Amino acid sequence: MSKARWRRLRFAGLAVYVVVALLGATACGSDDDNEGSAGGGTTTGEAAASTEIPGLGSTIDEIKQKAKEEGQVSLVQWAGYAQLTKEFAKETGCKVSTKDGATSDDMISLIGTGQYDGVSASGNASVRLMERGDVAPVNTDLIPNYADVQEGIKNKDYNSKDGQPYGVPHGRGPNVLAWRTDVVKPAPDSWGVIWDPNTPYKGKISIYDDSIFIADAALYLKATKPDLGIDSPYQLNDEQFNASIDLLKGLAPNVGEWWGDYAKQIQSYANKDVVIGTTWPYQVNTLKADKKPVEGVKPKEGTTGWSDTWMIYSKAKHPNCMYLWMNHMISPAAQAAVAESFGEAPVNLKACALTKNKNHCNQFHASDESWWKDIYYWTTPTADCGGKGGTCKTQKDWVNAWTEIRG
Amino acid sequence: MTSAAHAEPSPRQSLGRRLSTFFYRHPWVGVAALLAVPLGWLVGGYFGSLFVLLLASLWDTDPFTSEVVHNYTFDNFRRIFEEDVYREVAWRTIRMAALVTIADAVLAFPIAYYLARIASPRTRNLLVVAVLMPLWVSYLVKAFAWRTILSDSGVVNWALDPFGLSFDGYSSVGLWLVFTYLWLPFMILPLYAGLERIPHSLFEASADLGARSLRTFLRVTFPLAFPALVAGSIFTFSLTLGDYIAPDLITSQQFIGTVIYDQRGTNLPVAAAFTLVPIGVMVMYLLVARRLKAFEAL
């Protein structure tokens, strides 16, 4: 082959390279545009409290009819939340698929992929989702069961904005202290047993692997170090924040396992790899059902907890099925099923008549507000201390500190 | 010369015929069409995503909503270089990758040597299948199985218990074992190929010149197999460097992979900035590997 020919070949290669690069650049450019408009959702979310979602029926009958055409709904959920999905599919024609999120941050990034129609958001996700414009306000007239939801849980700052509901309440519960009864004696009633640097359970402690756990340290300091003046464990000034971080850094070497995956934690408790720690009632129930000697309690200092909300993605592909799903999840039957299996209090008290354990609502104090007053629902830390004035550490500070605590 | 006859335009040529003539007359079009897809993938898909990664590492996030804000800042890099935790995590990961590579090399060499030079063709086939077999099982399943094996009530502690010993499986030592197991086939295969390629005559020559087996190994076998060893180490080292699932399942320590994974959702720019650390390490590693002629052994 001649030299000239080679040169031509090389030139051709270069030409293709340039063309492809240019194509790539324009493709990137247009992608950026899309992202820009999605990012601008913050403003649209604020301006429009409109509950209109493209394709959503305007009456309940229309929603039911359109849902049959959609035929499916996909959800981001806390493990075990979606209940009676077969019955729901039979009744509405919407097949349910779920994806578990391990943390609220996880759920926010999952919803951000645009693959899902809705999410069971805790308070520390819901406020951010509303602010980002990722979730849409809902028209509760189209959700008949909404009337049965306890009034005390409606229109809170974590499930509504400017008086406009964003989604329907799902249920609430405490994060509990759980231990193996065959190892941990006597039965603890205080978080002190895990925070004590000389705890006898060194290396056997199980801790939730998310920055929101900083609040659990703050909550313990609130009870044990009143000088710090901690009010809400989620709104911490510099001094309070640093004290909490110090407490956590003392805990870190004693931690046997940081858990995000609930299945992993269940396995560790079952195998005695951990014997005490923080968990959801769901894991305690699962372990007990499996005849493992595990017990859980709300300690005397109070605890962190959650009040969750089913929210609809603002660009949901199956909005009609999602509306029916929100209605389904606050129906007495679904509420009874999830309250019992996850270990939480229903928001629709009609569920109390349907639980297998007739005493469930009493045990979880579903209508006893005084029991809930020392349970601090997850919420997002903000610079303005949740509107109370002063300067507090932000969500970003919490996340960065968490990496450092984990070491 | 028959070209004159061909140049005569026939009145009705099929499309395929005309196309083929076109490509014959303009050879560069053919080359371009051939290269467009792989080059497009390399430039757009590969370098493009690396470029976006670099860009993302300069972005910022909203302190409240954790949304990515397109303000350019070097804050993420400052954080990674100034805060001890990131440096510690990076060193811990590099150390782990090096130890896993050494362990795999030590384990793989005799196996590969046996495969290449001693085993009969039949045994060799069986052994190659045995080496490849673990790769048929999902990596996740293997990591979870190891989690069970290393548990306090797992088989390791069950075996140690009668001797009054116990082993903390969920530690860096446990993770080192898991990684060594997971990546072993990736070391054996290139080594086996490298050892097999050494001409038998060299061993005969070495023997004729009076060298005994140890000397032959040190002066002939090992130097010739060394590039293959380095080639294998590229796999074991890089796979360990980026992994996040095994560290998450086995230990409670943070590694580069787990830190990136944890930050990817709501702290994307920091995750992107931290990603450049293993990329930088790998680039240096590959440069050294090229010096050691590892790429010729691949």
Using the beta-carbon criterion (under 8 Å), do A399 and B154 form an inter-chain contact? no
Question: Closest Cα partner for A308 from A380, A233, A378?
Answer: A378
Q: What are phi and psi of A111, to 5 degrees?
A: -60, -35
Q: Check if the beta carbon of residue B60 is closer than 8 Å to that of residue B75.
A: yes
Where helices occur in chain B by DSSP H, the ranges are: 3-7, 15-25, 27-40, 48-56, 75-82, 84-113, 121-132, 139-150, 155-160, 172-196, 200-208, 213-216, 222-242, 245-250, 256-263, 268-291
Give B-chain residues touching A267 at CB under 8 angstroms.
147-148, 151
**Which token pair is B225?**
């197999």
Nearest to B39 among A16, A380, A404 (CB): A16
Measured between alpha carbons, how far is residue A260 from residues A22, A248, A308, B74, B131 in Å?
A: 43, 17, 18, 30, 34
A vs B: CB pairs below 8 A: 123
Distance from CA of A174 to the nearest CA of B (A): 24
Q: CA angle, corner A287, sides to B154 and A190, nearest 5? A: 100
Are B252 and A258 a contacting pair at CB < 8 A? yes
Of A7-11, A170-174, A288-292, B275-279, the poorest mean pLDDT is in A7-11
**What 3-state class would DSSP assign to A176?**
strand
Q: Answer yes or no: do A24 and B52 touch at CB < 8 A.
A: no
Amino acid identity for residue A347 in this structure: V
Closest partner residue to B259 (CB to CB) among A17, A271, A403 is: A403
For residue A177, the cross-strand partners are A278, A297
Pairing between strand A345-346 and A276-279?
unpaired
Question: So what's the pLDDT on residue A387?
Answer: 76
pLDDT tens digits, A106-131: 899 999 899 999 999 999 999 999 99
The enclosing H or E element of A273 equals none
By CB neighbour count within 10 A (0-12 exposed, 13-18 middle, 19+ buried), where does A147 fall? exposed
**DSSP 3-state assignment of A380?**
coil
Given this model, what pLDDT does residue A14 score? Answer: 47
Rounded CA-CA distance A69/A126 in Å is 29
Q: What is the mean pLDDT of chain A?
A: 87
Within 10 angstroms of residue A402's Cβ, the number of other Cβ atoms is 20
Distance CA B218, CA B109 (A): 13
Contacts of A258 in chain B (CB under 8 A): 252
Residue A28: its pLDDT value, please? Answer: 41
Q: What residue type is assigned to position B165 of the chain?
A: L
Give first-to-last CA distance, chain B, whole Å.
Answer: 47
CA nearest to A17 within chain B: B39
CB contact under 8 A, A399 and B66: yes
CB contact (8 A) between residue B147 and residue A397 = no
- Residue A185 distance to chain B (closest CA, Å): 20
For residue B33, give the chain A residue with the closest CA: A16
Is B151 within 8 Å of chain A by CB?
yes
With beta carbons under 8 A apart, name residues in chain A contacting B263. Answer: 399, 403
Q: Looking at the complex, does the CB of residue B10 fall below 8 Å from at least one CB of chain A?
A: no
In angstroms, the Cα distances linking B198 to B118, B148, B149, B226 are 13, 42, 39, 11
Q: Which pLDDT tens digit goes with each residue over A39-58? A: 333 333 344 467 778 889 98
In chain B, what residues touch A126 (CB-CB under 8 Å)? none
Decide if A13 and B31 are in contact by the 8 Å CB cutoff: yes
Three-state SS sequence of A112-171: HCCCCCEEEECHHHHHHHHHHCCEECCCHHHCHHHHHECHHHCCCCCCEECCEECCEEEE
Between CA B143 and CA B140 the distance in angstroms is: 5
Under the banding of pLDDT at 50, 70 and 90, the label for residue A22 is very low
Confidence label for A171 from pLDDT (cuts 50, 70 and 90):
very high
Residue A167 binned pLDDT confidence (cut-offs 50, 70, 90)? very high
Q: What is the pLDDT of residue B61?
A: 87
**Can you tell me the ipTM of this complex?**
0.75
Provide the pLDDT confidence category of residue A334 given band limits of 50, 70 and 90.
Answer: very high
Q: Which residues contact A401 (CB under 8 A, 6 or more apart)?
A: A211, A214, A241, A245, A393
Is some CB atom of chain A closer than 8 A to the CB atom of B223? no
B147–A20 C-beta distance less than 8 A = no
Judge whether A252 and B252 are in contact, CB under 8 Å.
Answer: no
Bridge partners (DSSP) listed for residue A276: A179, A205
Q: How confident is the model at residue A152 (pLDDT cuts 50, 70, 90)?
A: confident
- Three-state SS for A406? helix
pLDDT at A261 over 60: yes
Spatial contact of A185 and A360, defined as CB atoms under 8 Å apart = no
What is the rounded distance in angstroms from the CA atom of residue B213 to the CA atom of residue B220? Answer: 10
Give the pLDDT confidence score for residue A25 in this predicted structure: 42
pLDDT of residue A200: 94
pLDDT of A10 over the 80 cut: no
Task: Return the pLDDT at B18.
Answer: 87
Mean pLDDT of A171-196: 94
**CA-based max dimension of chain A:** 91
Averages of pLDDT over runs of 10 residues in chain B (298 residues) are: 51 80 86 88 89 91 86 90 92 96 96 93 93 91 92 90 88 95 95 92 91 90 92 95 92 92 86 93 93 80
B65: which chain A residues are within 8 Å (Cβ-Cβ)?
42, 128, 131-132
Partner residue opposite B83 with nearest CB, options A23, A267, A404: A404
- Compute, in degrees rounded to 10, the torsion defined by CA atoms B16, B20, B26, B31: 100
Q: In chain B, what is the greatest distance between 2 CA atoms, to the nearest angstrom?
A: 95
Angle between helical axes of B268-291 and B256-263 (0-180°, round to 10): 150
Contact B32 A271 (CB under 8 A): no
Given this model, what pLDDT does residue A49 score?
62
Instruction: State residue A303's pLDDT score.
Output: 95
* CB pair distance less than 8 Å for B65 and A256: no
* CB pair distance less than 8 Å for B27 and A396: no
Facing B31 at nearest CB: one of A12, A402, A406: A12
Pick from B147, B145, B172: nearest CA to A273: B147
Q: Which two tokens stand for residue A126?
A: 């819901």
The reported pLDDT for the residue numbered A42 is 39
Query: Does the beta carbon of B79 lie under 8 angstroms from any beta carbon of chain A?
Result: yes
Residue A18 reports pLDDT greater than 60: no
